[in-house]
Amino acid sequence: MAPTRWTLALAALAATLAGCVTLSRLTALKRVDFSIAGVQDGRLAGVDLRRIANYDDLSVVEIGRVALAVSRRDVPLDFRVLIRADNPADNNTAATMVKLAWTLLLDDKETVSGVLDTVVTMPPGQTAYIPLPMRVNLRQFFDGPAQSLVNLAASVAGLSSHPTRIAVRAVPTINTPLGPITYPSPITIVSRTVGGSPPPSP
């Protein structure tokens, strides 16, 4: 019986230690500060938005392209939301995220959802950038003529003087000695800054 007791005791100790490490990593992820660093590579129905602040900036050809997309009720807006993750220097545990389930909100309206299956390690005292590629059919979620949809797209891309409120509701999954564990409740990630230098390209 003695070997069996020792085996059970060692197994219980290992489970306890693994549980402590898991709890430590969960706590580490809670302490990571997530924010939206910016939006990159905006394109509306194939039109590059880097120089578009409103509908009046479109060329005749671009107006035709957007009008055609509106008539087909398929007005795709493609862009990347860059998530910034800051792990505090006094956090002694690196947070390793293996998956991120997300939902995009534009002006508080739920739009598209997706899952990012990318491993991201966030050592203490360092910043990581997580690019989330997005595609939203604006016609599916917003009404209005081509002009209003172009202005909305420009505001999402950050060029308008009246930017759209962008938020990402996210559920991270982290790696632990007991296997991947999903964050117990969603977090809402929003922009913390206005203006300033553009975020780095990942």
With respect to residue 14, please indicate whether it lies within any of the assigned structural domains: no
> Which helix (H) or strand (E) segment is 156 a member of?
helix 146-156
Residue 169, in any domain of the structure:
yes
Residue 53 lies in a domain: yes
The whole-number pLDDT of residue 177 equals 65
Question: CA-based angle 140:143:144, to the nearest 5?
Answer: 135
Residue 86 CB neighbour total at 10 angstroms: 17
Say which DSSP state 191 is in.
B
What CATH number is given to the structural domain containing 153?
A: 2.60.40
Q: Establish if 39 belongs to a structural domain.
A: yes
* 32-48 tens-digit pLDDT: 888 999 999 999 999 99
Q: Is residue 82 part of a domain?
A: yes
- Give pLDDT, residue 153: 93
Distance of CA 69 to the CA centre of its chain: 27
Enclosing domain of residue 155: 32-190
Each residue's pLDDT tens digit, 68-99: 999 999 999 999 999 998 888 887 777 788 99
CA distance 132 to 139: 21
Is residue 186 in some structural domain? yes
Taking the model in full, what pTM does it have? 0.77
In angstroms, the CA 85 to CA 97 distance is 11
Tell me, what's the pLDDT at 19? Answer: 47
Residue 10 lies in a domain: no
User: In this structure, is residue 98 part of a structural domain?
Assistant: yes
pLDDT digits (tens, 9 = 90+) for 104-114: 999 899 999 99
Number of domains in the chain: 1
Beta-bridged to residue 101, according to DSSP, are 115, 171
Find, among 34, 23, 35, the residue nearest to 93 by Cα.
23
